[in-house]
Amino acid sequence: MPNIIPYLFTKDLRKLSILLFVWFILIAIKVFLYVGAVLFSNNLDYQNYFPMYYRLILFLEGLLMIVIIPLAIQDEPLVSTTSFWFTRPLSRRDVLVTKAGLLGLILILIPLIAEIIILKINYVSFHLILLAVPEILIERLAFILPFILLAAITPRFSRYALAGTILFAAWIDR
């Protein structure tokens, strides 16, 4: 059987292309906001509005992650009799490698590179950047993993959204 991982990866990239385009735009805006913060450090108006814009970008980035994760994971569920590949079985390893690679590249590696660029723009030394990388990765994974687990145990996006809303309400109410 030929290696199907590149096919699944490109299929997922094509399917999520619009969301991924918006994702890259948000990452680029975040980097440019920091470039502006360094360039316009004497501009009081920019410094007043920077936190508001940055929080908006972070909110939109988080919201987009919450949407991208189930759309990528629930496309080929590992269990179900309605799977398109039920008659042409895909190995669980291939599906897992494809989804983990896609989410790792898009939601972890690219924002990590953006954070490193932001740190470099702010004149952080290479040694301190190396010390910050594990913290950035852990922070990213801590945010993403609950949504990955929720997407893996729910069969459709509607159930994912409902379960996520219930869990969020329960978490807020504590």
Tens digits of pLDDT across the chain (174 residues): 457 788 888 988 999 999 999 999 999 999 988 888 777 778 888 788 888 988 999 999 999 999 999 999 888 755 555 555 555 567 778 888 888 889 999 999 999 999 999 999 888 999 999 999 999 999 999 999 999 999 988 888 999 999 988 988 887 776
Distance from C-alpha of 174 to C-alpha of 155, rounded to nearest angstrom: 27
Say how far apart CA 8 and CA 47 lie, in whole Å: 44
The total of other beta-carbon atoms located within 10 Å of residue 153's CB is 10
Return d(Cα 70, Cα 164) in angstroms, integer.
Answer: 11
pTM of the predicted protein model: 0.82
**Per-residue pLDDT, 78:** 55
Alpha helices in 41-109 (DSSP H): 44-73, 92-103
Cα–Cα distance for residue pair 50/70, rounded to 1 Å: 31
> How many other C-beta atoms lie within 10 A of the C-beta of residue 154?
19
User: pLDDT at position 1, please?
Assistant: 46
> Which tokens go with 90?
């895909």
Asked whether the beta carbons of 125 and 47 are under 8 A apart, the reply is no
Amino acid at 100: A
* pLDDT attached to residue 110: 93
* Alpha-carbon dihedral angle through residues 35, 39, 45, 51, given to the nearest 10 degrees: 30
The SS3 assignment for 150 reads: helix
Separation in Å, CA 29 to CA 60, 94, 141, 160: 11, 34, 22, 29
Q: Which amino acid is at 126?
A: F
